[in-house]
Amino acid sequence: MAEVRFGKAVNMALDDALAADPTVILFGEDVAEAGGPFGVTRGLLEKYGDRRVRDTPISEAAIVGAAVGAAMSGLKPIVEIMFMDFVAIAMDAMVNQAAKARFMFGGQCSVPMVLRTPHGGGVNAGPQHSQCLEAWFAHIPGLKVVVPSNPSDANRLLRAAIADPDPIVFVENKAMYSLKGEFDESSEPIEIGKAYVARAGNDVTIVSYGAAVNTALQAADKLASRNISVEVVDLRSIQPWDEEAVLASLSRTHRLVVLHEAVTAFGVGAEIVARMSDIGFDELDAPIKRVGAPFMPTPFAKSLESQYLPNAEDVIAAVEQVLA
């Protein structure tokens, strides 16, 4: 098993998909010649040519809209939006077109496309280049949202996403691109909608996704030295999300903390808490805690941003509260 960086793992999945299926095409701003603003698409233009790997102008509405149209016409487009913040410009294509085409056209077509985009802060990129907006998409019936937490998952989930017949938002945390992790090239794609117990424990369950899973694991490590046994559930995909796995874990630990980098209010965590307080009501031995960003835009200054982003200490504090 080799160590692979997150960005490279994504690159390998794209590479495999382009090699395996001639209907897969890739386009976005600076993804071809330049190999992507984060170097994720490096080498693909050279390998697959400019018919299938294309640079686009700065036209997010058209990029995503075109992906929808291409998907309705026999291709499997993979498009990149350089920062998740910019999806705001392409929302119509995702929300009113991609998400609804199959349904409102009576099931005549699917929209097999993947929109890849990086979210997340930690690099002082300021209010318009740091947001975690996945909840927007998770709220839209017809879209699926996948958020990997490590290089291996990024590869295996992306392969599943490309193979999936429906529109998928595939979210990569930009601070993780250079993160290294074990990756077995022969591993299978991961089924979308299934969570993974990243660490088993008895006292508290932390449910998370994306880079925040690593924060949860750090917190779990620190808590283990205090004899607090934390189970970490990595959702891997937030729409659909694995209610059963979360309920199963809650039924073991009876205490739940939900963690994500995104703003807490009206976030993915709110949905998880709502469901668990319903179907998991009788399992709860403490109120469920959410840990996430406060209700404010991501600030630029280092000191502000580090206070803004949820960290292991915040998670530990929440765990202490549910154990009180």
Partner 1 sequence: MSPAKSDNSVPKSRLLEFYEQMLLVREAENRLSKLFADGEVPGFIHLSVGQEAVCVGVTSALKREDTLASNHRGHGHALSKGVELNSFFLEIMGKEEGICGGRGGSMHVADMSVGMLGANGIVGAGIPLAVGSALAHQVRENGAIAAAFFGDGALAEGVLHESFNLAALWKLPILFVCENNGWSEFSPTDRQFGANVRELAGVFGIPSDYVDGDDVLDVHDAASDLVTAIRAGEGPRVLECVTHRVRGHFEGDSQKYRAEDEMNSLSNHDPIAKLESVISKRRIPKKEVAAIREKIDAKINAAVEAGRAGNAPDFDRAQADVYTAVRGV
Partner 2 sequence: MSHVTNLNMPKLGLTMTEGTISEWMISPGASFKKDDVVLVVETEKIANEIEAPADGVLHDILVEAGETVAVGAPLANWDVGAAVMFEAAVEGEDAAATTPEPAKEIAAATTSIEVTKITARGVESKRIIATPLARRIARQNDIDLADISGSGPKGRIKAEDVHAAIAGGTSRAAQSSGVTVTSPDVLPDRRAATSYETAAARRLTEAKRDTPHFYLSTEVDAAALLALRQQLNADNEGLRISVNHLIIAAVARALQENETANCVWRDGEIMTYGTTDIGMAVNTEKGLFAPVLKNIGNFGIASIAEAARELAERARSGQLSSDDLSGGAATISNAGMFDVTYMGSIINPGQSSILGVGSIREIFRPDEDGQPELKQEMGLVLSCDHRIFDGVSGLTFLNSIKANLEKPLRLLVN
Residue 282 near which of partner 2, ligand TPP, partner 1, none (CB within 5-8 Å, type-dependent)? partner 2
Q: How far is the CB of 160 from partner 2 (least distance, A)?
A: 35
- In this structure, what token pair is assigned to residue 234? 């990595």
Among 2, 43, 295, 317, binds partner 1 (CB under 8 A): 295
CB contact at 8 A, 16 and 66: no
Establish if 60 lies at the interface with ligand TPP (CB under 6 A): yes
- Parallel, antiparallel or unpaired: strands 196-199 and 114-119: unpaired
- Separation CA 155–CA 9 (nearest Å): 5
CA pseudo-torsion sign 113, 116, 117, 118: positive
Establish if 271 lies at the interface with ligand TPP (CB under 6 A): no
**129 catalytic per annotation:** yes
Tell me which residue of 263, 321, 243, 261 sits closest to 289, measured CA to CA. 321
- Separation CA 253–CA 177 (nearest Å): 33
CB contact at 8 A, 112 and 69: no
Residue 284 near which of partner 1, ligand TPP, partner 2, none (CB within 5-8 Å, type-dependent)? partner 2
Specify the residue, 115 or 125, whose C-beta has the smaller distance to partner 1.
Answer: 125
Establish if 178 lies at the interface with partner 1 (CB under 8 A): no
Structure letter (DSSP) for residue 192:
T
Structure letter (DSSP) for residue 245:
H
**CA separation, residue 35 to residues 175, 176, 177, 304 (Å):** 18, 18, 14, 32
Establish if 247 lies at the interface with partner 2 (CB under 8 A): no
Establish if 48 lies at the interface with ligand TPP (CB under 6 A): no
Specify the residue, 58 or 323, whose C-beta has the smaller distance to ligand TPP.
Answer: 58
- In this structure, what token pair is assigned to residue 82? 């350089």
Q: Which stretch binds ligand TPP (CB under 6 A): 82-90, 119-127, 142-150, 279-287?
A: 82-90
**Which residues fall within 8 angstroms of residue 52, CB to CB, at 6 or more apart?**
18, 22, 24, 25, 26
Of 29, 119, 129, 254, the catalytic one is 129
Question: What 3-state DSSP class applies to 216?
Answer: helix
State the DSSP string of 129-144: S----HHHHHTSTT-E
Binding mask 31-60 for partner 1 (x = CB under 8 A): --xx--x-----------------x-xxxx
Residues 96-155 that bind partner 1 (CB under 8 A): 123-129
- In this structure, what token pair is assigned to residue 108? 């005549």
Binding mask 3-42 for ligand TPP (x = CB under 6 A): --------------------------x-------------
* Total residues interacting with partner 1, rule: CB under 8 A: 35
Residue 185 near which of partner 1, partner 2, ligand TPP, none (CB within 5-8 Å, type-dependent)? none
Residues that bind partner 1 (CB under 8 A): 29-30, 33-34, 37, 55, 57-62, 85-86, 88-89, 123-129, 294-297, 299-304, 307-308
Give the residues lining the site for partner 2 (CB under 8 A). 254, 281-286, 324
Catalytic residues: 60, 129
